[in-house]
Amino acid sequence: MPDSDILDSEAIDNLRALGDEMEDDTFLKEVIEIYLDDTPKRLAEIDECLAAGDSAKLNRAAHSIKGSSANLGATQVIEVARRIEEKSKESLDNLEADIAQLKANFDQVKTALAAI
């Protein structure tokens, strides 16, 4: 099982249970594949929005990452995405460190998901 500081094992178990009728991890693997395909796109969108000063779109991208990360129990990604989402409602100033942390946390999640 992946590192519990990175992924909530209960969330992974819940996804496994949803796919039980397949008697394998097909459903879980599909969810992981979608997450690993979509999240880098949202991270790139955050970078683009920060550069363009588009707080509304940046906020939506952070919200999307937060939601998809919740499906997999990526707790640290959820927390940083939530922080970016909240801060972006007020200002895009000083988000660079949070965005860097979000990317680093996502890299840890990718590694943990590869171990499943």
CATH number at residue 94: 1.20.120.160
Q: What is the pTM of this model?
A: 0.93
Domain count, the chain: 1
pLDDT tens across the length of the chain (116 residues) = 445 689 999 999 999 888 877 678 889 999 999 999 999 999 999 999 999 999 999 999 999 999 999 999 999 999 999 999 999 999 999 999 999 999 999 999 999 999 98
Q: Which two tokens stand for residue 115?
A: 């171990």
For residue 74, tell me if it sits in a domain.
yes
Range(s) of the domain holding residue 108: 9-114
**What per-residue confidence (pLDDT) applies to 38?**
98
Contact indicator for 42, 57 with CB cutoff of 8 Å: no
Those residues whose C-beta lies under 8 Å from the C-beta of residue 80, and which sit 6 or more positions away, are: 98, 101, 102, 105
Rounded Cα distance, 107 and 102, in Å: 9
